[in-house]
Chain A
Amino acid sequence: MRKPMNNRQFLIAALGFGILLRLVLMPFFAHVDLFSEARRVFYVLENDHLFDNTHRFVVFYIEVIFSAFSTFFIDVTEGLFHIPDPTQSVASLVDYQFFLNDPNIYKHLFFFKLPYLIFDIATALLIWRFVDKPEHRKIALLLWLFNPLTLFSTYIFGRFEVISLFFLVASALQLKYDRVFFASVLFALALHCREINLLYTPFLLIALIDFKDHWSRNAIVVAGSVATIATIYLLPAWLVNLSGGNTQLFVGSDVINQGDTLNKLLSLGYYWFYPVVIGLAALAIYQWEIGYKPKAERFIVCASVVLFIYFGFNVHSVHYAAWLVIFPILSIQYGKKVVLPFIALSGTWLLLWLLKTDTGVFTLFLAAPLSTDFIGMGHFPSFFEKHIATDSFTLHQAIQLVRSLFLVVMGFFTYRVLKSESK
């Protein structure tokens, strides 16, 4: 009779299949955003601007180190990553096509995603460590390793979301063991990976408050955490300024005019802004009310719901959905049943972005080193309009319908994450 797999064997088998799957995807897919990022990285390397960029600097320097390492294996074609003006660093499709036709395209894609693979697998190991019960940790591990959202975002779209998620998990793990300082340090590093992580900050700080402790102790803990996070967050820009560097190296005029964006935000120019504010305020009250629960649980539950509220009203870009993955997976530690919502999320996310795709998402260019029609249907929205849409059910209506379903899935997730743990 065959022996059942032990926990260690399960971990090894899951990691083995997970890594193989990732290695198979790595060299053959990329969105134009990956090339824009690579141009910035090589610009810094080729023009000796190593200390001139503070934007998402943790991710950026990890990419710089790995790209420098890749040059031992790749003879980079002259001018491939040339940027005439660093403030206009977003690549055009013509530039991207040159990249796709480069003889070293597969090596470039492989090496550029290599740090993502390392952080991705490291995140899997942290999840394994975070979840205590064997049956729960297996589910959590499988959800992380084989969910289509992070696989797509990281190895097909080719973005660095997993690095940001790694620091968030590491921070949550420290919080689980009450190591507030290290949790704050790691959270600050996560802020240097993605600005969206700022949304979690108030919930991390509220989670640090222990209702059993005296208020003065709580005040010291929270103040210490704020100081740690603020220092680490502001230090790089301060140091670069001090040394005469240029923190605006890749910043274009469109980003500099942020005053317009703020005015638009506050004048309801962004329809999703106020529902999100209302939802987050309500969530903060909820987190205060569950103050008797462990710190890590309060942080994880609320951080999950933060994104459910945010994505309920605002779907943004296809790869941003990867942010949704990590906290619900960690909530499994606290008995939350999230597998079914995960399946629903994967289905609606795929459907939404098939319909809402542009040339760079699912149907064109992603697998362009191999084919521009990977799914055999050409540009799917055009296919939909030609073969499926009718006068009374247009592509626009289909998108709105699936967006509504996406909001429902966010509600489903919220319900499962907030619901008391199963017995």
Chain B
Amino acid sequence: MTTIDRRIGTLLLAIVAAITLSNTSFAQVTTHDLKSAGTDQYRVSGNDPYIVFNAQGPDQNASHLIFDLGSDLKGVPLELFFMAEGELFDPYFKVGFTATKFPSVLALPENIKLTPSTRLRLDITACAECLISTKNLPMLAHNPANDIAEVELTNVQNGVSILNNQPRAISTQGWRLNDLSGDLTHFEISGSDPFLVSPKLTTSTSKLAGVYFKLIAPSSDEVSNDYQLFYQTERHPFSISAHSTLRIISASSQTVEFVVPLDFLSSEQPPDLVLERLRLDIPNITGKWALIEARLVHQDQATDAKSLIPQHVQIKQQRASGLALAKKSLINVASDTSFLISYILLLLLICALFLRAYRSS
């Protein structure tokens, strides 16, 4: 009965879809945090519900995926992971979307590789008790018919970029301004929490030394002004525990340029591996502002960039303990060579003096 239902459903879907459909469908492999709620139906039962599908002889030229998951998932944010290494799906290859009706169709990311072993993982991201139907399994298509609604992708990640040894400019397009009026070339503070959020960077932190900013800032009456840089990685959103503060001593020049070190990200435990976005909080100074330039700095340019690191910078402190702590401490202390040498000499001198006094007593 189940098999018949499934075949009928798939057939109906195919008819409704288009004659240009590929003949490739997917078989359900496994589910997670979903419990059976009848034939081909599941109910969410945990915090991380997903279904994994396996392609059945995929059409390598297919460009779209048609799917029908049941009415409960209308309006529910979904994520489709499309790059797997063994059992694990790579979090940097995924699309996010929300379907308003079913069946729906989504455009596959351009460089998705459809092979006989292609697997897809569909995550239901925000629905505590949804009922999910797998009666109609997903199908690949070339050009879906117009009467099937195409979902708009809210988030596309197609891998992580790695910095080469050249500075990488952050596009001046796609910045979000908060409590700021105007655009990047000319903005003014219009609220109590002014900041700029970069476009998506999705860049590996493995070679990242820091980020460079060049701004035009209005003159200030204060002796110094504080800027804050928040960084969002794959492990966390913007948060107070992931930020650096810089104190810029006010100067006569309106141009402010500085580098915020981020070289510690790749060595943290657990490591932050992918820089997603940056957020620059600016001091509340009335007047005309502009962001002239922002770029990611490669470790090879760290020496040049060092002169642009402000004297007063609060870099996120390390969380290391145990052996990792001992190693980091040694590196930290060794960076102040004069202190290290004097300190060791002092310890040796104290030892020698007390040993001598002890022996002569």
| Interface residue ranges, A against B (CB under 8 Å) | 6, 8-9, 12-13, 15-16, 19-20, 23-24, 27-28, 77-80, 82, 84, 94, 97-98, 100-104, 106-107, 110, 365, 368-376, 378
Say whether, besides A16-B350, A369-B332, A376-B322, A84 and B358 are in contact (CB < 8 Å): no
- Chain A CB within 8 A of B317 CB: yes
- Contact of A370 with B336 in the complex, beta carbons under 8 Å: no
Cross-interface CB contact of A101 among B315, B320, B339, B358, cutoff 8 Å? B315
Chain B positions 123-147 with a Cβ under 8 Å from a chain A Cβ: none
Q: Which of B31-39, B199-207, B208-216, B306-314 contacts A (4 or more CB under 8 A)?
A: B306-314
Instruction: Tell me the bound Cα distance from A371 to B316 in angstroms.
Output: 10
- Contact of A372 with B249 in the complex, beta carbons under 8 Å: no
Instruction: Tell me the bound Cα distance from A373 to B361 in angstroms.
Output: 44
Say whether, besides A82-B224, A371-B317, A371-B329, A77 and B311 are in contact (CB < 8 Å): yes
- Contact of B351 with A6 in the complex, beta carbons under 8 Å: no
- Contact of A20 with B347 in the complex, beta carbons under 8 Å: yes
> Of all chain A residues, which has the CB nearest B329?
A370
Instruction: Tell me the bound Cα distance from A216 to B56 in angstroms.
Output: 111
- Contact of B336 with A107 in the complex, beta carbons under 8 Å: yes
Count chain B residues whose beta carbon lies closer than 8 angstroms to a beta carbon of A. Answer: 35
Instruction: Tell me the bound Cα distance from A192 to B329 in angstroms.
Output: 38
> Of all chain A residues, which has the CB nearest B261?
A101
Chain B positions 191-250 with a Cβ under 8 Å from a chain A Cβ: 223-224, 226, 245, 247, 249
Q: Mark B318-361, 1 if CB is under 8 A from A, else 0.
A: 11111001001100110110010001001100110011011001
Q: Give 7 new A-B contacts, CB below 8 A, not counting A12-B361, A373-B320.
A: A23-B346, A27-B339, A78-B249, A94-B314, A98-B314, A371-B319, A378-B319
- Contact of B314 with A27 in the complex, beta carbons under 8 Å: no
Cross-interface CB contact of A100 among B223, B317, B321, B351, cutoff 8 Å? B317
> Of all chain B residues, which has the CB nearest A8?
B361
- Contact of B343 with A368 in the complex, beta carbons under 8 Å: no
Q: Which residues of A contact B357 (CB under 8 A)?
A: 12
Instruction: Tell me the bound Cα distance from A80 to B313 in angstroms.
Output: 11
Q: Which residues of A contact B355 (CB under 8 A)?
A: 16
> Of all chain A residues, which has the CB nearest B324?
A371
Summed over the interface, the residue pairs from A and B with CB atoms below 8 Å come to a total of 102
> Of all chain B residues, which has the CB nearest A6?
B361
Say whether, besides A80-B312, A84-B223, A94-B314, A16 and B354 are in contact (CB < 8 Å): yes
- Contact of B325 with A370 in the complex, beta carbons under 8 Å: yes
- Contact of B350 with A106 in the complex, beta carbons under 8 Å: no
12 contacts between A and B (CB under 8 A): A12-B354, A12-B357, A23-B350, A79-B224, A79-B247, A79-B312, A100-B317, A371-B317, A371-B320, A371-B329, A373-B320, A375-B321
Q: Which residues of B contact A24 (CB under 8 A)?
A: 347
Q: Which residues of B contact A97 (CB under 8 A)?
A: 245, 314, 317
Instruction: Tell me the bound Cα distance from A294 to B311 in angstroms.
Output: 59
Instruction: Tell me the bound Cα distance from A90 to B71 in angstroms.
Output: 59
Instruction: Tell me the bound Cα distance from A84 to B221 in angstroms.
Output: 12
- Contact of B312 with A12 in the complex, beta carbons under 8 Å: no
- Contact of B321 with A376 in the complex, beta carbons under 8 Å: yes
Instruction: Tell me the bound Cα distance from A260 to B234 in angstroms.
Output: 51
Say whether, besides A16-B354, A78-B311, A106-B339, A9 and B361 are in contact (CB < 8 Å): yes
Q: Which residues of A contact B315 (CB under 8 A)?
A: 101
| Interface residue ranges, B against A (CB under 8 Å) | 223-224, 226, 245, 247, 249, 311-315, 317-322, 325, 328-329, 332-333, 335-336, 339, 343, 346-347, 350-351, 354-355, 357-358, 361
- Contact of B358 with A13 in the complex, beta carbons under 8 Å: yes
Say whether, besides A12-B361, A79-B247, A94-B314, A374 and B321 are in contact (CB < 8 Å): yes
Write the nearest CB–CB distance from A395 to chain B, whole angstroms: 21
- Contact of B354 with A371 in the complex, beta carbons under 8 Å: no
Q: Which residues of B contact A15 (CB under 8 A)?
A: 354
Which among A98, A104, A107 has the highest number of chain B CB atoms within 10 Å? A98
Instruction: Tell me the bound Cα distance from A6 to B317 in angstroms.
Output: 47
Write the nearest CB–CB distance from B210 to chain A, whole angstroms: 14
> Of all chain A residues, which has the CB nearest B315?
A101
Q: Which residues of B contact A376 (CB under 8 A)?
A: 321-322
Cross-interface CB contact of B343 among A16, A27, A77, A101, cutoff 8 Å? A27
Which among B223, B343, B355 has the highest number of chain A CB atoms within 10 Å? B343
Instruction: Tell me the bound Cα distance from A101 to B321 in angstroms.
Output: 19
> Of all chain A residues, which has the CB nearest B313?
A101
- Contact of A370 with B332 in the complex, beta carbons under 8 Å: yes
Write the nearest CB–CB distance from B327 to chain A, whole angstroms: 11
Write the nearest CB–CB distance from B361 to chain A, whole angstroms: 4
Which among A6, A97, A104, A376 has the highest number of chain B CB atoms within 10 Å? A97
- Contact of A371 with B358 in the complex, beta carbons under 8 Å: no
Write the nearest CB–CB distance from B82 to chain A, whole angstroms: 35
Say whether, besides A16-B354, A79-B249, A372 and B318 are in contact (CB < 8 Å): yes
> Of all chain B residues, which has the CB nearest A15?
B354
> Of all chain A residues, which has the CB nearest B246?
A98
Write the nearest CB–CB distance from B341 to chain A, whole angstroms: 12
Write the nearest CB–CB distance from B249 to chain A, whole angstroms: 6
Instruction: Tell me the bound Cα distance from A236 to B320 in angstroms.
Output: 47
- Contact of A106 with B333 in the complex, beta carbons under 8 Å: yes
- Contact of B313 with A19 in the complex, beta carbons under 8 Å: no
Instruction: Tell me the bound Cα distance from A186 to B290 in angstroms.
Output: 62
- Contact of A12 with B328 in the complex, beta carbons under 8 Å: no
Instruction: Tell me the bound Cα distance from A8 to B359 in angstroms.
Output: 10
Cross-interface CB contact of A374 among B224, B325, B336, cutoff 8 Å? B325
Write the nearest CB–CB distance from A317 to chain B, whole angstroms: 23
> Of all chain B residues, which has the CB nearest A24?
B347
Instruction: Tell me the bound Cα distance from A79 to B310 in angstroms.
Output: 12
- Contact of A20 with B351 in the complex, beta carbons under 8 Å: yes
Write the nearest CB–CB distance from A226 to chain B, whole angstroms: 43
- Contact of A16 with B313 in the complex, beta carbons under 8 Å: no
Cross-interface CB contact of A373 among B223, B319, B339, B346, cutoff 8 Å? B319
Q: Which residues of B contact A101 (CB under 8 A)?
A: 312-315
Say whether, besides A82-B223, A371-B317, A374-B321, A107 and B339 are in contact (CB < 8 Å): yes
- Contact of B314 with A100 in the complex, beta carbons under 8 Å: yes
- Contact of B318 with A98 in the complex, beta carbons under 8 Å: no
Write the nearest CB–CB distance from A280 to chain B, whole angstroms: 43
Which among B312, B322, B332, B354 has the highest number of chain A CB atoms within 10 Å? B312
Which among A8, A12, A20, A100 has the highest number of chain B CB atoms within 10 Å? A12
